Chain A
Amino acid sequence: MKYMTINNRKVAFDDEKNVLAVIRKAGIELPTFCYLSELSTYGACRMCVVEDDRGKIFASCSEEPKDGMVIYTNTPRLQHHRKMILELLLASHCTDCTTCRTNGACILLKLANQLGVNYVRFQNNKPKLPLDYSSPCIVFDPNKCILCGDCVRTCTEIQGLGILDFVHRGSKMRVTTAFGRPLSETSCVGCGQCRVVCPTGAITVKQNIHPVWEALADKDTKVVAQIAPAVRVAVGDKFGLPEGENALGKLVAALKLMGFDQVYDTNFGADLTVMEEAQELVEKIEAGDLPLFTSCCPGWVKFCEEKFPELRKHISSCRSPQQMFSAVLKEEARMDTEDNRKTVVVSIMPCTAKKAEILRPEHRTDGEQDTDYVLTTTEITRMIKEAGIDLASIKAAPMDMPFGLSSGGAAIFGVTGGVTEAVLRRLVGSYEPEDLEAIKFTGIRGNDGIKEATVNLKGREVKIAVVNGLKNAGIVMNGIKSGDMYYDFVEVMACRSGCVAGGGQPVPVTPQIKAARTEGIYEIDDEKQIKISSDNPFVIALYDGLLKGKQQKLLHNHHE
């Protein structure tokens, strides 16, 4: 064991990758903008500076820990440095903080307050740059960028896309796309992971709050909500509920108070997806037409279309749970001749890419858009606050029937491996604890970027890959293209860890918070009596009723 002395206290360490990690392990929360443990070390923000016993000042994120090191983290010189850095950052930052979308979550503001920077001596002489509203998913405001590069490295290192990068240099440096094109003209998939890591308001979720309030206020409109699996374990974040706690009942109660006419579960849509996708997998196995890729994640679908168009044909024809469910809801409304109100479907999602998914031409039925609006968890959080509701103290309410009932298999759609696990449960079709456990431990759970499993289905070994993070998806797709890898079934979720860490979820999203949300999702599954989608009685009833003869029309996409 090696030791270093931090603020006169001896701290043991072994394989921490830098001094900052040792300091944080010792319980000292050094501020940073540009350091995220999942990304490469950039060392630009200089907030994590420390001083050694010889008075040398260095950035702790970029220094290897050495045995016998003596460092101080809070000397007057360091305080002066940090305050100066913050003052300079604030000097070139757009300071409309009172009306900023990130008000309350801004790390720049938080640190300025924490470190006592209450006056800026310098004037901002940067010209105001136009905002990029072109993406349906995110808004980019270059005036609020502090050049930490977290978005650049996330887009490149985690998502393998590299849409954003630094351009120009010195005082003219900024983060933008190639040739400064609008995001809508790039290969951006709208996953929103850049927004999750952005410490300021430079990248924010595109808001759809206003039209939803309008619809709620309109007496001639029936507003139907569906809530995605991963929202319920994150929506409590900004109301002081414990990390990862299932706040579904409270959320339903809040939505009812806000005026939603019906509140249903996207998990019901997920049950439909499991039915269809399991059937498609069996058909493809029998026909020898493999591999089959999942289609639930719109970020992944767009990624495949942009980067691997030749593999597009392997993506399942199944619509995502959101789109299956909205199509069913709208069809039901069209058939209801007694209710003359217009139906607006609002889906509450952990995801920014879902905002783009609903606009795709295949997601219109008889000329009508299936999902009208997508609100991310952050937006619904804001709406609950606007309505003056305290989610923490509100009494839980149940979802409406029949689409409020769902299986455990649907619940786990919110985490990586969940779609696969639900499909396997359906195909194995057993409630024996050992069978359920066997599926659980095939290797499809856990946080690895690429997970592999082999299961025996219908007398045949089926090779499965479960992928999260688009860079990993790129690795697997390249492997499949070159023939180095072979899988029968590939599940992809664009965001690392799956939807629990989606681009529309409340920030911060630390590894601990991801783990808590994942655990929360598995707890929901554990408490469900119905584990398998095909045992959801309302799913069966729907197939015998509304879906009769309309399965293809409502639940599948029809590409050429």
Chain B
Amino acid sequence: MLDQKYYDTADEIIALHGAKPSSLIPIIQDIQTEFRYLPGELLSYVADKIGITEAKAYSVATFYENFSFEPKGKYVIKVCDGTACHVRKSIPILERLYSVLGLSEDKATTDDMLFTLETVSCLGACGLAPVLTVNDKVYPAMTPDAAEDLIEELRGAE
């Protein structure tokens, strides 16, 4: 069971979009923005409030890569692996980040809840390839070394 404040926030967000089935995606987007992830308990809560089955809500939430049931780190790093970034060697950057952060394809978030590492298919900044973003701030023309320095810098800021 989550803290009551989560449900209160969800109630506000549901009121904002209207308690109807078609509001599902905007509601869970806002919830995810608020808490940096989509708590499963809230998804069930929202489903009940807007009159859809829990399975249907889960179906929608798993369809989109964007929704995460796992709490994400303070810094969400998205490494672009779109065509342009891929040919400009995005994979070595990703691999370096995995090893620096101790993460893998199956483990996206560090235990200290500081970093979450994801790949995305295109950030729309192909001219700057290879690109990564940290909480939506774009870092262009990256290299594995530059990525490692960036992590050190972010860690130092803590």
Contacts and interface: CB of A to CB of B under 8 A. Distances in A.
Interface residues of B, number: 12
Contacts of A163: 53, 55
Interface residues of A, number: 13
A167 B53 contact: no
A166 B62 CA distance: 9
Contacts of A165: 53, 55-56, 58-59
Given A178-B44, A179-B40, A167 B56 contact: no
A156 interface: yes
Given A178-B44, A179-B40, A162 B55 contact: yes
B63 A162 contact: no
A156 B58 contact: no
Interface string B49-61: 0001111111100
A168 B44 CA distance: 17
Given A168-B63, A169-B63, A179 B58 contact: yes
Interface in A162-180: 162-169, 177-179
B56 A162 contact: yes
Interface in A129-161: 156, 161
A312 B52 CA distance: 23
Nearest to B55: A165
B28 to A, nearest CB: 14
A164 B55 CA distance: 6
Nearest to B61: A167
B71 to A, nearest CB: 16
Nearest to B65: A169
Contact of A167 (B40, B44, B59): B59
Contacts of A177: 55
Interface in B33-69: 40, 44, 52-59, 62-63
A167 B57 contact: no
Contacts of A169: 62-63
A178 B63 CA distance: 13
Interface in A340-366: none
A166 B56 CA distance: 8
B69 to A, nearest CB: 8
B62 A178 contact: no
Chain B CB within 10 Å — which of A167, A168, A177, A178 has the most?
A: A178
B102 to A, nearest CB: 24
Contact of B62 (A156, A162, A168): A168
A178 B52 CA distance: 12
Nearest to A161: B53
A136 B44 CA distance: 25
B61 to A, nearest CB: 9
Contact of A166 (B40, B52, B59): B59
B124 to A, nearest CB: 22
B52 to A, nearest CB: 8
Interface in B46-97: 52-59, 62-63
A163 B53 CA distance: 8
Interface of A: 156, 161-169, 177-179
9 contacts: A156-B53, A162-B55, A165-B55, A165-B58, A167-B58, A169-B63, A178-B54, A178-B55, A179-B58
Given A162-B54, A165-B59, 5 more contacts: A156-B53, A162-B52, A166-B63, A169-B63, A179-B58
